[in-house]
């Protein structure tokens, strides 16, 4: 088979699965699951084939795979396949981690009443994400960008009968739409200045003339970055991600690891040529700020999934910061390793939740190490990787970002090192409280290890987590995105490891045998500030209420009482009034008529004869 046909299969197989499930296998849960899983595994296999066949080869010009989708006047929107090392590696990550999550879902969602709908949405999600990875131009990317938004809406709202889930999916979609608003304006600005939306063409134009965007350059970059702020949940649009935990746990794993949030970072790397130094420094600070903010919030959460959610936010902050510091290769490297261990963490959390019959509060867990051995050991591997312990993959990628920051921006390096400390602290808080510490409720007694269909994906991901640092992923990214200029490696390692040790020690001291959280007792104000996520949700609710909602209320009032009422009823009233006035003339009195007639004649005579 022609190698260039492969990406089309990789892209469209999940869509085909979603369509077939929707139309034909709604009633047959197993068939739906099998179709969806088969589609994603085949995509994965084909991605591997593509990777093997094309690695090292000079790739053909991606323009050759373009099909015209919408050509009107001077706007050329193609539907194409962008095939380079970046997209091939991303394909592997998305389909590989996606496969593990799909298989795991089969066990996790077994008793759900809408398995078919679940797998159809999951396949749609894969399709959308693969579309982003393979997009050749801004509009194509925007199309799949929106599709990712809607499939996440469907999945987060899978249990739509729960009001919290129904609100969460709405919030996720709307927050993303705010980011997309900026993204769309960025696309329009780039197109109107440079006349193209095609990544390859834009790259060439900006290479030939870096000042081609003129004064719009920084604005265009930052507007495009808005899309990433929404999708990758960066400050100030980070609020949707923790709420998105309302979806089934495998969905959280998918959103947090392989798809959606990764899309934002991937997009930044794809259009890295667009960013000016000013734009990059804004991006770096937004990333660093998000990393710090989210790590602080994670410290006081007690829901196992929410802790992981904030850690995702924080790690995404690292990646965005790395892009901002001029190291897209480091960002992609961390994205890849993070995809492995974060998927593993979520699936491990799902295994715990499954075993405890949907208990998510870590303060009702404890002592799970013995009950769930596979879950515990894989979870621990992922935790260590997240904390950057050598020789796990997280160590290499995180170390690279720390070194990058050290070379470029000392202040951000300090932030990043402090975030590393916090990361170890809150992750080991979770491990100590939920797994190794004393049992805190009866729930533990009936817990038992999850079935093989759920544990094998854990093991698969754990293996990836261990080996990913040694198989040259970083070099491949460096080949396509350029080698990042790193600072002093040893200093970064020393800081990274000290942060780990301090964090571990603090967590051990506070939580190794704790039955309840000691921090609120010590400082209740700080604890509630952190637990309530710095009151961002409340603040936004206030802001929205006194801007858009207030405007809407005013518009509604104006529409109802001014335009509709005064204008229309006014017109109606005037007509009626005229009618009544005219009726006065119709007295039915012959003498009046005769009088008026004669008056008229006299006036007429006067006018004529004058």
Partner 1 sequence: MSLLTHILGWPLLAALVLAFVPRNFRFLTRLVALAATFTSAVLAVVMFVKFDTALATDFQFVQILPWVASLGISYHVGVDGLNVGLVLMGALVAFAACCCSWEIKEREKEFYILLLVMTGGILGAFASLDVFFLYFFHELALVPTFIMIGIWGRGEEKDYATFKITLYLSLGALLALIGLLALYLQMPEDKRTFDLVTMTAHFRAQAMDGSAQQFIFPLLLFGFGILVSLWPFHTWAPLGYGAAPTATAMLHAGVLKKFGLYGLIRIALPMMPEGAAMWMQWLAFLCLGNILYCGLVAMKQKDLNLLIGNSSVAHMGFVFLGIASLNVLGITGAVLVMIAHGFLAALSFGLSGYLYQQTKTLEMEKLGGLLRQMPFFGAAFVMAAMAGCGLPGFANFAGEALIFFGAWTEFRVVTILAAWGALVIGAVYMLRAVRSILHGPLPQQWHAAQDASTLWCRLPFALLIGALLLFGFFPVLLTKKIEPVAKQIVKDARAVLKPSVTVGVKN
Number of residues that bind partner 1 (CB under 8 A): 59
The residues near 523 (Cβ < 8 Å, ≥ 6 apart) are: none
Q: Is 78 in the site for partner 1 (CB under 8 A)?
A: yes
Nearer of residues 195 and 390 to partner 1, judged by Cβ: 195
Q: Is 301 in the site for partner 1 (CB under 8 A)?
A: no
Q: Calculate the alpha carbon distances from 247 to 147, 168, 294, 368 in Å.
A: 17, 9, 20, 24
Is-contact 536 241, C-beta < 8 A?
Answer: no
Q: Is 28 in the site for partner 1 (CB under 8 A)?
A: no
User: What's the rounded Cα separation, in Å, for the pair 381 and 432?
Assistant: 14
Q: Is 161 in the site for partner 1 (CB under 8 A)?
A: yes
Is-contact 468 386, C-beta < 8 A?
Answer: no
- Give the one residue of 63, 475, 538, 576 binding partner 1; rule: CB under 8 A: 63
Nearer of residues 483 and 572 to partner 1, judged by Cβ: 572
Q: Which stretch binds partner 1 (CB under 8 A): 73-81, 87-95, 214-222, 592-600?
A: 73-81
Q: Is 68 in the site for partner 1 (CB under 8 A)?
A: yes
- Give the one residue of 471, 564, 594, 604 binding partner 1; rule: CB under 8 A: 564
Please list the residues that pair with 68 across neighbouring strands.
78
User: What's the rounded Cα separation, in Å, for the pair 352 and 248?
Assistant: 13
User: What's the rounded Cα separation, in Å, for the pair 355 and 595?
Assistant: 101
Q: What angle do CA 592, 596, 599 make, to 5 degrees?
A: 140
Residue 535: left if φ>0, alpha if ψ -120 to 50, beta else—which one?
left
Q: Is 538 in the site for partner 1 (CB under 8 A)?
A: no
- Give the one residue of 31, 49, 92, 150 binding partner 1; rule: CB under 8 A: 150
User: What's the rounded Cα separation, in Å, for the pair 296 and 458?
Assistant: 28
Q: Is 49 in the site for partner 1 (CB under 8 A)?
A: no
Q: Which stretch binds partner 1 (CB under 8 A): 180-188, 372-380, 449-457, 522-530?
A: 180-188
- Give the one residue of 55, 516, 528, 548 binding partner 1; rule: CB under 8 A: 548
User: What's the rounded Cα separation, in Å, for the pair 389 and 298?
Assistant: 20
Q: Is 111 in the site for partner 1 (CB under 8 A)?
A: no
Question: Cβ–Cβ contacts within 10 Å for residue 355, how many?
Answer: 22
Backbone angles phi, psi at 198, to 5 degrees: -85, 125
Nearest approach in angstroms of CB 585 to partner 1 is 25
Q: Which stretch binds partner 1 (CB under 8 A): 171-179, 339-347, 460-468, 471-479?
A: 171-179
User: What's the rounded Cα separation, in Å, for the pair 295 and 422?
Assistant: 6
Q: Which stretch binds partner 1 (CB under 8 A): 6-14, 81-89, 269-277, 551-559?
A: 551-559
Q: Is 501 in the site for partner 1 (CB under 8 A)?
A: no
Q: Is 559 in the site for partner 1 (CB under 8 A)?
A: yes
Nearer of residues 278 and 559 to partner 1, judged by Cβ: 559
Is-contact 26 116, C-beta < 8 A?
Answer: yes
Q: Is 542 in the site for partner 1 (CB under 8 A)?
A: no
The residues near 78 (Cβ < 8 Å, ≥ 6 apart) are: 66, 67, 68, 69, 136, 137, 140, 198
- Which spans of this chain sit near partner 1 (rule: CB under 8 A)? 63, 66, 68-76, 78, 139, 142-144, 146-147, 150, 157, 160-161, 163, 165-167, 170, 173-174, 177-178, 180-181, 184-185, 188, 191-196, 198, 200-201, 548-549, 551-553, 555-556, 559, 563-564, 567-568, 571-572
């Amino acid at each position: 088979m022609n190698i260039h046909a492969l990406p089309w299969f990789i892209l469209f197989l999940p869509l085909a699965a979603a369509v077939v499930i929707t139309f034909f296998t709604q009633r047959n849960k197993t068939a739906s699951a099998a179709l969806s899983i088969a589609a994603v595994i085949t995509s994965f296999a084909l991605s591997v084939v593509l990777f093997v066949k094309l690695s090292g080869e000079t790739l053909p010009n991606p323009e050759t795979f373009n099909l015209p989708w919408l050509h009107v006047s001077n706007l050329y929107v193609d539907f194409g396949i962008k095939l380079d090392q970046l997209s091939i590696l991303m394909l592997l990550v998305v389909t590989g981690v996606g496969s593990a999550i799909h298989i795991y879902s089969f066990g996790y969602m077994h008793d759900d009443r809408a398995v078919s709908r679940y797998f159809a949405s999951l396949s749609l999600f894969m399709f959308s994400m693969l579309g982003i990875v393979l997009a050749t131009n801004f509009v194509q990317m925007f199309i799949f960008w929106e599709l990712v938004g809607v499939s996440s809406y469907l999945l987060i709202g899978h249990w739509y009968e729960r009001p919290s889930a129904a609100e969460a999916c709405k919030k996720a979609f709307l927050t993303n739409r705010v980011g997309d608003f900026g993204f769309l304006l960025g696309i329009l600005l780039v197109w109107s200045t440079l006349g193209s939306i095609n990544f390859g063409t834009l790259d060439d134009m900006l290479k030939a003339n870096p000042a081609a965007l003129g004064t719009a350059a920084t604005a265009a970059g930052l507007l495009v970055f808005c899309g990433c702020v929404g999708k990758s949940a960066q400050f100030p649009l980070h609020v949707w991600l923790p709420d998105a935990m309302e979806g089934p746990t495998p969905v959280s794993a998918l959103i947090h690891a392989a798809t959606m949030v990764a899309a934002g970072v991937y997009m930044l790397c794809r259009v890295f040529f667009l960013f000016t130094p000013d734009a990059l420094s804004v991006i770096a600070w937004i990333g660093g700020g998000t990393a710090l903010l989210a790590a602080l919030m994670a410290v006081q959460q007690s829901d196992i999934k929410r802790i992981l959610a904030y850690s995702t936010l924080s790690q995404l902050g690292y990646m965005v910061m790395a892009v901002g510091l001029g190291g897209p290769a480091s960002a992609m490297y961390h994205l890849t390793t993070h995809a492995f261990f974060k998927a593993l963490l979520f699936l491990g959390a799902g295994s715990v939740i499954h075993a405890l019959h949907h208990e998510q509060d870590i303060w009702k867990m404890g002592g799970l190490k013995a009950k769930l051995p596979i879950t515990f050991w894989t979870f621990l591997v992922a935790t260590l990787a997240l904390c950057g312990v050598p020789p796990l993959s997280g160590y290499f990628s995180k170390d690279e970002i720390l070194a990058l920051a050290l070379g470029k921006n000392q202040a951000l390096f300090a932030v990043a090192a402090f975030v590393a400390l916090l990361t170890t602290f809150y992750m080991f808080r979770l491990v100590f409280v939920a797994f190794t510490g004393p049992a805190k409720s009866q729930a533990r007694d009936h817990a038992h290890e999850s079935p093989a269909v759920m544990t094998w994906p854990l093991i698969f991901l754990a293996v990836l987590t261990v080996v990913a640092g040694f198989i040259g992923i970083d070099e491949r990214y460096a080949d396509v995105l350029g080698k990042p200029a790193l600072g002093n490696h040893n200093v970064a390692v020393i800081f990274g490891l000290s942060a780990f040790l301090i964090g571990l020690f603090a967590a051990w001291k506070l939580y190794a045998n704790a039955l309840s959280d000691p921090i609120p007792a010590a400082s209740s104000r700080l604890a509630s500030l952190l637990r309530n996520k710095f009151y961002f949700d409340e603040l936004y609710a206030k802001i929205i209420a006194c801007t858009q909602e207030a405007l809407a209320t005013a518009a509604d009032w104006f529409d109802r009482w001014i335009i509709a009422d005064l204008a229309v009823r006014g017109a109606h009233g005037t007509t009626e009034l005229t009618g009544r006035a005219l009726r006065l003339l119709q007295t039915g009195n012959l003498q009046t008529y005769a009088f008026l007639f004669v008056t008229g004649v006299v006036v007429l005579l006067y006018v004529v004869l004058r």
